[in-house]
Amino acid sequence: MEHKTPATESIGLQIPSEIQDSVLQKSTSMPENSVPIKGINFEKKKEITLSDILESYRTTGLQATNLNKAIEIINKMLVDGVKIYLGYTSNMVTSGLREIFCYLAKNNLISCIVTSAGGIEEDFIKCLADTYLGDFKLDGKTLRKKGLNRAGNLLIPNDNYCKFEDWINPILDDMVAEQKEKGTIFSPSSIINRLGKEINNEDSVYYWCYKNNIPVFCPALTDGSIGDMIYFHGFKNPGFIVDIAQDIKKINDSTVFAQKAEVMRNGADYAVYVSTAQEFDGCDSGASPDEAISWGKIKLDGEAVKVFSDASLVFPLIVSETFVKFLAEKN
């Protein structure tokens, strides 16, 4: 049997049934609650705000919709008053996102920070000297000869680390003396707390963490410049001990006794990822929220989303529609 469609009837064509069945498969009806895709109409309003654009992302599709969902989830976190754990990598602190992290810590909008060694030291280094805007195409050999380190299109002079060493060495002296005289054993989080106190600079993320008693966890604290400083310092003043086991207890206790937690209480209620990493190689940074559910890191009925994007692009947008508005309404 041959079939005709309005389009083919007008030109006298007949379509064989096998083609009709495979190519022109009839659609099922969409559910009543289906959301049509629709972007922002710049002709509809004379003045379009950032909030208007971000709200339109809900029905824009692709990563725009995921970004809108991230904003929605974080706003639920704030309304519910849950503990909010902020995690980021060192390049985020090297970039201008550091100022946003500082804002969140200063205003007590987060409960805890988890980061890498570079995410700690770059904050203190920026209190001592500037990081500069460069270019992704700058030649590595030329930069090396000039004593300049490149992180993407960011440039950090070697002199910055010399200034960091001059600043941290007297503090390490005091901490070693305290260990020998009082038996104090420092954990990574207590070292960061001490450095936040010593930097005494309101531009520092960890100064505000110290002031507001926000714990900062960095299991691999020695995997960076701080590790180099501890190593070199040990030649003239040996014996410094860092106990990472203390922090395992601290961070697990903070979740076990929290109303909303993670794996120690069968998963987090909410999770927002912002990452460019993919999951094809099985790395944790590229994992999807669904993978985290399989490990019990997110609850079976938890709300989670992953935004595939460079955080330097979208994190300021997320914060402007969540924490900033929350604080303004609170005050």
Catalytic residues: 297
Angle at 240 between CA 236 and CA 245, to 5 degrees: 160
Q: At 298, phi and psi to the nearest 5?
A: -125, 140
Three-state DSSP at 286 gives helix
Q: 205, 93 in Cβ contact below 8 A?
A: yes
Using CA atoms, how far apart are residues 173 and 161, in angstroms rounded to an integer? 18
Q: 239, 173 in Cβ contact below 8 A?
A: no
DSSP assignment of 171-200: HHHHHHHHHHHH---B-HHHHHHHHHHHH-
Q: At 245, phi and psi to the nearest 5?
A: -65, -30
Structure tokens at 76: 């639920």
Closest CA to 70 of 329, 328, 298, 315: 315
User: For residue 181, how many C-alpha atoms fall within 13 Å in the half-sphere facing its CB?
Assistant: 6
Structure tokens at 261: 């937690």
Alpha helices (runs of H) in the chain, residue ranges in sequence order: 6-9, 17-23, 50-56, 62-80, 90-94, 98-106, 117-128, 140-145, 158-182, 188-199, 205-211, 225-236, 245-256, 289-294, 311-321, 323-330
Structure tokens at 159: 């002199």
Q: Which helix (H) or strand (E) covers residue 308, if one does?
A: strand 298-308
Which residues are registered as beta bridge partners of 15? 3
CA 5 to chain centre: 53
